[in-house]
Amino acid sequence: MPNRISRRSLLGAAGASAALAPTIASSQGANSQGAAMADNDKIGFAIVGLGKLSLGQLIPGLKVAKGAKLAAVVSGHPEKARRVAAENGLPADAVYGYDDYDRIAKDPRIDVVYIVLPNSMHAEHTIKAFKAGKHVLCEKPMATTTADAEAMIAAAKAAKRHLMIAYRCHYEPQNLDVMRRLRAKSMGKVRQINTTMGRQADLSDPSDVWRLDGKMSGGGALGDMGVYGVSAARYLLNEEPIAVQAWAQTDRADPRFKETEDLINWQFRFPSGVIANGSTSFAYAPTMAFEVICEQGRLDADPAAFYGGNRLTVIKGGQAQPPIPAPPSDQFAREMDWMADVVRGKAPMVSPGEEGLQDMRLMQAILESAAKDGATVKTDWGYKRAVDPAAVVDVPGKA
């Protein structure tokens, strides 16, 4: 296949750019502008899984984090793990395999375990980490089934440890800016949201092979890219959908889609009357964008969820203002610093396991509706976000 682009390369395609123009009030929390802590005072992270995200984003992010540090690596490839450890100044006994993973219980250097494995492995290694007495930061989607997600949440409660899901957009400056604009009703009420999240998957890329495997991924494009749109509609509005309709279109002759759906479109209905249209695909041009249409204008975030280079265009009175680049920041450092301060008791939990479970349930409802050719599925389960990111997470450079 000619277009060799993975989610990780898509998200990291654009570099970070200039500072955000509008003034945004900051709040106290893990990402406030302060000096980095002494190394001995930083919260130690064990990275479980040494794939593209870990090597390209997480370990570099820990090098610039203010209150978090790399303490150990866990991998099924011993030579690779030893090499990565040596490159990052870790001693030999900070290298773990999946066969001796339980040994982390006796390692006081490890406070948080960051799960960066194929989705089907999240629950097993999260629960093991809780049994070892560690806190957990887990990549999204948090699991492949709602039952596994519920088991992860129960394990966290039983261990009296924190479970955070890696919703980095909760801490990303541009997304926070849009959330705050919407809370302030700067362009009147929101009427409609459109999210488009997808790319071309490639069977020659090992990281895409498992994403196209129904059992390992749990949902193909929907779980990999669509989860960004499902989550975005919710955090942009700070509301939960009460019903969904969805449709799927998949070419089964395409070898990529033997076990998962390809193009999925859905429509959420919210209590306020807002309609949110979402789309995801593993067979269309790479895009990660959202549009918020209000009574008096429009907010276009394109890109909206890259690792860097996100841009916001404000259209009001029929006139588009110059695009606003997100301020330079390492999204992963911000996310891990936030988790570190949650562990310290200095920041509220913004992205708990319950957030991941809500998205799991909504994605399940999308697939259920699509299987019934757009039948309405009720989603008013009574869930309410515990903490609004717009109310507590700061933005770099804002006093």
Tell me the one-letter amino acid at 228: Y
Q: State pLDDT tens for residues 229-262.
A: 999 999 999 999 999 999 999 999 999 999 999 9
140 is catalytic: yes
Whether 255 and 297 map to the same domain: the answer is: yes
Q: State pLDDT tens for residues 47-56.
A: 999 999 999 9
Q: Is there a domain that residue 94 lies in? A: yes
Length of the chain (residues): 399
Band (10; pLDDT cuts 50, 70, 90): low
Q: Which residue is listed with tokens 């301060």?
A: 341
Show which of 120, 143, 168 is a domain's final residue. Answer: 168
Whether 274 and 150 map to the same domain: the answer is: no
Whether 373 and 231 map to the same domain: the answer is: yes
Whether 298 and 183 map to the same domain: the answer is: yes
Show which of 150, 168, 186 is a domain's final residue. Answer: 168
Whether 140 and 222 map to the same domain: the answer is: no
Q: Closest by alpha carbon to 362, among 195, 146, 120?
A: 146
Domain that holds residue 298: 173-314+352-392
**Averaged pLDDT of the chain:** 92
Q: State pLDDT tens for residues 27-67.
A: 334 444 467 899 999 999 999 999 999 999 999 999 999 99
Tell me the one-letter amino acid at 10: L
Catalytic residue among 42, 69, 134, 140: 140
CA atoms lying within 13 Å on the CB side of residue 219: 30
**In the prediction, which pLDDT does 36 show?**
85
Q: Closest by alpha carbon to 68, among 77, 76, 58, 56?
A: 58
Q: State pLDDT tens for residues 310-334.
A: 999 999 988 999 999 999 899 999 9
Q: State pLDDT tens for residues 184-219.
A: 999 999 999 999 999 999 999 999 999 999 999 999
235 is catalytic: no
Q: In 167-253, where do the E strands start and end?
A: 190-200, 243-249
Torsion (CA) 181, 183, 186, 189 in degrees, nearest 10 = 130
What the block records as the tokens of 92 is 């030999």
Q: Is there a domain that residue 228 lies in? A: yes
Q: Is there a domain that residue 26 lies in? A: yes
Whether 227 and 186 map to the same domain: the answer is: yes
Euclidean distance between CA atoms 236 and 350, whole angstroms: 14
**In the prediction, which pLDDT does 144 show?**
97
Show which of 116, 143, 168 is a domain's final residue. Answer: 168
Domain of 110, CATH number, reads 3.40.50.720
Q: State pLDDT tens for residues 59-114.
A: 999 999 999 999 999 999 999 999 999 999 999 999 999 999 999 999 999 999 99
Domain of 274, CATH number, reads 3.30.360.10
Q: Is there a domain that residue 11 lies in? A: no
Catalytic residue among 228, 235, 307, 398: 228
